[in-house]
Amino acid sequence: MGFEIVQRFEQDIAQFYGAPYAVATDSCTHAIELCLRIEPLAAMVCPTHTYISVPMTLQKLKLPWSWIDQPWEDYYFLGNTRIIDAAVYWQKDSYISDSLMCLSFQFQKHLSLGRGGAILCDDKFTYDVLKRMTYDGRDPHIPWKEQDIEHIGYHYYMTPETAQLGLDSLPDAEIRKPKKWTSADYPDLRNMTVFQNLR
């Protein structure tokens, strides 16, 4: 029963944003990390004004990256990739084709679930790969002990309880006006000691 609730939440979120597929995760940070793990990456750039977990994730994955001082509104592309940090973006039919669009349902976001995220994507293959990665590399439809796990996965799945809260909260979120977010809502991360020490 649990997986079906998560799958239903994924379908409803995909439909709201106008995306073919949505992969539910336990956070937007982990959504971004999973996308970074499957994308061929060149030198990365990270906005100077964003949430702290984004550059921390680049460090965690040991990716070469540098800052870019670039204003943004609603969302931004991460580096020279098709990955979009859309953590604060709530807009019907706004999915950008051929992107990996990462959403947040953290308590300050428009769809406030306390925790949670999702990745919007175009195709079933990418959905299946990302879905297995959220579930420790396994197919969530089959008990893990009955599977031969082929690839490394990560314990980044959305719980059925969070998905059910999302399903219950979605009708209200669809009619409320969302807050407008920009890069000005975030401090310049270059001034923080943690990032000065990393470089």
Rounded to whole angstroms, how far apart are CA atoms 109 and 104? Answer: 7
Of 35, 63, 43, 56, which Cα lies nearest the Cα of 189?
56
- Mean pLDDT, residues 152-157 taken together: 94
Cβ atoms < 10 Å from Cβ of 13: 23
- Could you read off the pLDDT of 162-193 as tens digits, one per residue? 999 999 999 999 999 999 999 999 999 999 99
The pLDDT, as a whole number, for residue 1 is 57
CA dist 104 to 51, 53, 158, 199, Å?
Answer: 12, 13, 12, 28
Residue 124, C-beta contacts closer than 8 angstroms, at least 6 positions apart: 20, 21
CATH number at residue 118: 3.40.640.10
Cβ–Cβ < 8 Å for 18, 53: no
CA dist 116 to 129, 169, 186, Å?
Answer: 19, 13, 21
The region that residue 114 occupies, defined by phi over 0 for left and psi between -120 and 50 for alpha, beta otherwise, is: left
Instruction: Please give the mean pLDDT across all residues of the chain.
Output: 94
The pLDDT, as a whole number, for residue 23 is 98
The pLDDT, as a whole number, for residue 199 is 56
Rounded to whole angstroms, how far apart are CA atoms 63 and 44? Answer: 7
> Which two tokens mark 185?
């809502």
Residue range(s) defining the domain that contains residue 98: 2-198
Domain count, the chain: 1
Model confidence at 93: pLDDT above 60:
yes
- Could you read off the pLDDT of 102-136 as tens digits, one per residue? 999 999 999 999 999 999 999 999 999 999 999 99
